[in-house]
């Protein structure tokens, strides 16, 4: 499958997610490279082959509640992070898969993560309130847990980490291989629930990405910004972004308006495992 076809499927994923959220008044917005593409290219980054959205915990819970009586249209399949890949780990991220067309055809994709990494998907990131008194403890717990869970990756791509993080990932993943994958996933949800209990009744000003791959990245956003959403052109439709997208993109990418070197203009998810 070439990049143009992959982006057409990704656009279908985004439109289907937008349809469902609009139907049920669920607020969300574009995230990461998909946000970058919306602002810099009015669509996909030309070499990007995945798509990302983010929503607050309140809206995420509303999404889960709505899925109890409604579903995404076929051939889209929503799965929570603990529903695919019992024996392998691929992030604490819920996903919407497009299961009518295979993107990665090699046998290794059919035999790992219950076969779901054959397909293209939409990553769904959840924004939780930051408990100032327990911020560092939460970050450290999640980083350690994520590193342990990486011991259940089919393969770890060490090229994406700097030297110090290579060592951390190696040590934690080696230990994690000895711990049951389902147990580690359960521990993740335990930490999430403890954090939700801790922030009850608190007036939190910041949000952070509870299910982001935080072993090597962590960042917070201003809670007030998530209330101000605008729609921008994206390919042949319009999709939601935070009004303060410039601030968010600078945190993620620095001088995001400048294109990277040509050597870096390649899809990142073709050989993702």
CA-based max dimension of the chain:
50
Model pTM above 0.85: yes
Phi, psi (5° rounding) for residue 6? -60, -40
pLDDT one-digit tens code per residue, 58-94: 999 999 999 999 999 999 999 988 776 666 787 888 9
pLDDT one-digit tens code per residue, 102-120: 877 766 666 666 777 788 8
* Residue 265 pLDDT exceeds 80: no
How buried is residue 249: exposed, middle or buried, by Cβ count under 10 Å (0-12/13-18/19+)? buried
pLDDT one-digit tens code per residue, 226-256: 999 999 999 999 999 999 999 989 888 888 8
Asked if residue 34 lies in contact with residue 51, where contact means CB atoms within 8 angstroms, the answer is yes
Give the pLDDT of residue 272: 46
For the ranges 37-46, 116-125, 174-183, which has the lowest average pLDDT?
A: 116-125
d(CA 217, CA 21): 28
Task: Compute the average pLDDT of residues 92-99.
Answer: 92
Q: Which residues contact 208 (CB under 8 A, 6 or more apart)?
A: 127, 128, 130, 218, 219, 220, 221
Asked if residue 154 lies in contact with residue 273, where contact means CB atoms within 8 angstroms, the answer is yes
d(CA 14, CA 64): 17
For the ranges 43-47, 55-59, 130-134, 143-147, which has the lowest average pLDDT?
A: 130-134
Domain positions in the chain are: 3-264
Strands 229-234 and 220-222: unpaired
Closest CA relative to residue 270, chosen from 82, 110, 103: 103
């Amino acid at each position: 499958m070439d990049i143009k076809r992959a982006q057409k499927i990704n656009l279908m994923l985004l439109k289907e997610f937008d349809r469902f959220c609009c139907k049920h008044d669920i607020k969300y917005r574009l995230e990461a490279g998909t946000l970058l593409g919306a602002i810099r290219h009015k669509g996909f980054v030309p070499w990007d082959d995945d798509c990302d959205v983010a929503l607050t915990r309140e809206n995420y819970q509303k999404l889960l509640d709505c899925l109890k009586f409604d579903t995404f249209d076929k051939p889209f399949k929503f799965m929570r992070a603990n529903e695919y890949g019992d024996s392998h780990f691929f992030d604490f991220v819920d996903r919407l898969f497009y299961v009518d067309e295979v993107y990665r055809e090699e046998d290794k994709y059919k035999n790992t993560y219950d076969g779901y990494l054959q397909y293209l998907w939409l990553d769904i990131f959840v924004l939780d309130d930051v408990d100032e008194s327990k911020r560092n403890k939460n970050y450290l717990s999640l980083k350690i847990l994520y590193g342990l869970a990486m011991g259940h990756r089919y393969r770890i791509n060490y090229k994406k980490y700097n030297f110090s993080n290579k060592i951390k990932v190696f040590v934690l993943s080696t230990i994690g291989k000895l711990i049951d994958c389902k147990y580690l996933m359960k521990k993740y949800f335990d930490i999430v629930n403890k954090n939700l209990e801790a922030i009850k009744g608190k007036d939190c000003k910041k949000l952070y990405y509870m299910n982001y791959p935080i072993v090597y990245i962590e960042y917070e956003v201003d809670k007030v910004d998530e209330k101000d959403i605008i729609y921008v052109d994206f390919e042949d439709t319009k999709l939601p972004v935070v009004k303060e997208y410039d601030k968010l993109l600078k945190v993620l990418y620095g001088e995001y308006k400048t294109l990277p070197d040509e050597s870096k203009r390649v899809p990142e998810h073709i050989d993702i495992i």
